[in-house]
Amino acid sequence: MAFRGPTAADILASKHASAMPAADVVLPSTQTRDYFQAIDNMINVFAIRPEDKVLFLTDPLLDRRIVDCISGICNSRGVFPREFMAHTTQLSACPPEVEALVADATFVVSTWFISVNSPLFVKLRREKGQRWVKITYFRNLDLLETPQARFPVDLVGEIVRATARMYPKDHDFDMHFSCPRGSDLTIKFTPPMVKGLLSNNRWQGQQRADQPGCYVHYMPTHGPNLYDRNCFIGGDPHTKPKMQGIIYPQWAIGFPKPFEENIGLEYKDGLVVKVHGKSDDARILDEMLVDGEAELHELGCGFNPKYPRFKAYPAGSNAPGALHWGTDAKRPSEYMQRMVPKWEEPASHQDCIVYDMTVKAGNTTLIDNGFLMALRDPQVVEMASRYGNPKELLEQFVE
């Protein structure tokens, strides 16, 4: 009798069948190595100096171990921080009683939403060289054990700089957005807009809080924005972008599941003017964005390849090439107040997420179907090779 060769079903039935390494086996030595790599990353970002006056701006929901962890770094340099705890991260302005504390500090670690655009905070960074670290993505000490924590911070910076190099700088261009669901939106850019946008220290790939006036994120996942109000620095604060079209987000903060319906957000000059769709989700977004006269606050992009790609909370996916369209309405959303009352961002804000957008700046493709093209920039690949296998580091995503 002729021997019968094994079928695919026979192979799958074997308890030993495997052509891939065991994903659930992590040796203690590997865990130790990974953990200390993450700690070194953290200490590099929190570049505390012996002469610094460090202030924490926190909230009651922050893991207290975070304050102790960073305080330990400070204490080792002879620095003893102060702390002001607000009742929430959702403050709309700096409380008067904390203004003097903030003004006296040289280094601020903050969880507050207004950290980036409070007029007082912006002035202190610009005029006093105050250094800030925003810790929206470091609210639990256990995050030090994640892949995004140990991803090299300087490599994140190189990915950012590679993206910045792709912007045309000497002529007008259209930034065009499309996706498989039919997104079709254009923002018209001019050289002064690009100059204003890229003047932000985050676009310089600055990931360490060691430069006067810096504002960085830890963990370094949320990169600079593809578009935000920095485009109009020095101009009329009420200037509207020349922007028109429709996008079809796949998800939004405060919604338990991705959208089942293709819901379209139609923009005109930075404002959401119409929500296309018939589902309950579309109705909620219409009330939130159109009735609330929501304006595009930021078009955020991630730059850390090891940030979980489909983790939208707390502030949009921060995987490379995943976009979040952050809008600010003129009034808080009752839906958001019910669904995410303790969200780190105010109920007037909303992040709508797109995982598969294609973005072109003129003839240059910044993002291809959700893949950030800077990940294949020669300088990025060269730097990645110092840390390991570039393909694994840059293109093996955490789903």
Q: What is the pLDDT of residues 146-158, one digit of tens each?
A: 999 999 999 999 9
Cα gap 300→315, rounded to integer Å? 9
Residue 215 included in any domain:
no
Domain stops at, among 144, 161, 192: 144
Q: For the residues 120-128, what does the mean pLDDT come to?
A: 96
Q: Does any domain span residue 35?
A: yes
Q: Coil, strand, or helix at residue 202?
A: helix
Of the candidates 113, 144, 175, which is a domain's last residue? 144
Residues 176, 282: one domain?
Answer: yes
Is 333 among the domain residues?
yes
- Whether the per-residue pLDDT at 161 is higher than 80: the answer is yes
Q: Report how far residue 262's alpha carbon sits from residue 91's, in angstroms, rounded to the nearest whole number.
A: 33
- Whether the pLDDT of residue 215 is over 70: the answer is yes
Supply the DSSP symbol for 308. Answer: -
Same domain, 169 and 139: no
Let me know whether 247 and 370 are in one domain: yes
In this structure, the answer to whether residues 156 and 243 fall within a common structural domain is: yes
Say yes or no: 262 and 343 in one domain: yes
One domain, residues 97 and 187 = no
CB 321 within 8 A of CB 302: yes
Same domain, 190 and 285: yes
Whether residue 198 is found in the same domain as residue 163: yes
Give the span between the Cα atoms of 246 and 301, in whole angstroms.
18
320 and 350 inside one domain: yes
Q: What is the pTM of this model?
A: 0.91
CB 397 within 8 A of CB 310: no
Residue 323 lies in a domain: yes
Residue 100 in tokens: 């003097």
291: CB partners within 8 A, 6+ apart: none
Per-residue pLDDT band for 380 (boundaries 50, 70, 90) equals very high
Any idea what the CATH number is for the domain that residue 110 is in?
A: 3.40.50
Average of per-residue pLDDT values in the chain: 93
CB contact burial 174-199 (16+ within 10 A = b; e otherwise): ebbbbbebebebbbebeeebbebbbe
pLDDT score, position 24: 64
- Considering 112, 127, 144, which residue would you say is the last residue of a domain? 144
| 85 and 194 co-located in one domain | no
d(CA 392, CA 378): 15
Token pair 């504002």: residue = 215
Assess whether 332 and 366 both reside in one domain: yes
Q: What percent of the chain has pLDDT over 90?
A: 82
pLDDT of residue 149: 95
pLDDT value at position 5? Answer: 73
**Cβ count within 10 A of residue 350:** 30
- First and final C-alpha spacing in the chain: 48
Is there a single domain that holds both residue 161 and residue 123?
no
Candidate from 98-102, 181-185, 318-322 with smallest mean pLDDT = 318-322
d(CA 353, CA 160): 20
H helix intervals, the chain:
8-13, 28-45, 64-75, 99-104, 119-128, 147-150, 153-165, 191-198, 280-285, 334-339, 378-385, 390-395
Q: What does the pLDDT read at residue 383?
A: 98
Q: Which residues are paired to 83 by β-bridges?
A: 56
What is the rounded CA–CA span in Å between residue 13 and residue 285?
Answer: 48
Residue 7 per-residue DSSP state: P
d(CA 293, CA 96): 29
Question: Quick one: tokens of 123?
Answer: 């002035």
Backbone angles phi, psi at 337, to 5 degrees: -65, -30
Q: How many domains does the chain have?
A: 2
Residue 237 structure tokens:
């604060």
Q: Is residue 286 part of a domain?
A: yes
Residue 3 lies in a domain: no
Question: Which range marks the domain in which residue 128 is found?
Answer: 28-144
Q: Is residue 196 part of a domain?
A: yes
E strand segments, the chain = 54-58, 82-85, 107-110, 131-134, 173-178, 184-189, 215-217, 222-228, 243-247, 251-252, 264-268, 271-276, 295-302, 323-328, 349-354, 358-361, 364-368, 371-372
* Residue 211 placed within a domain: no
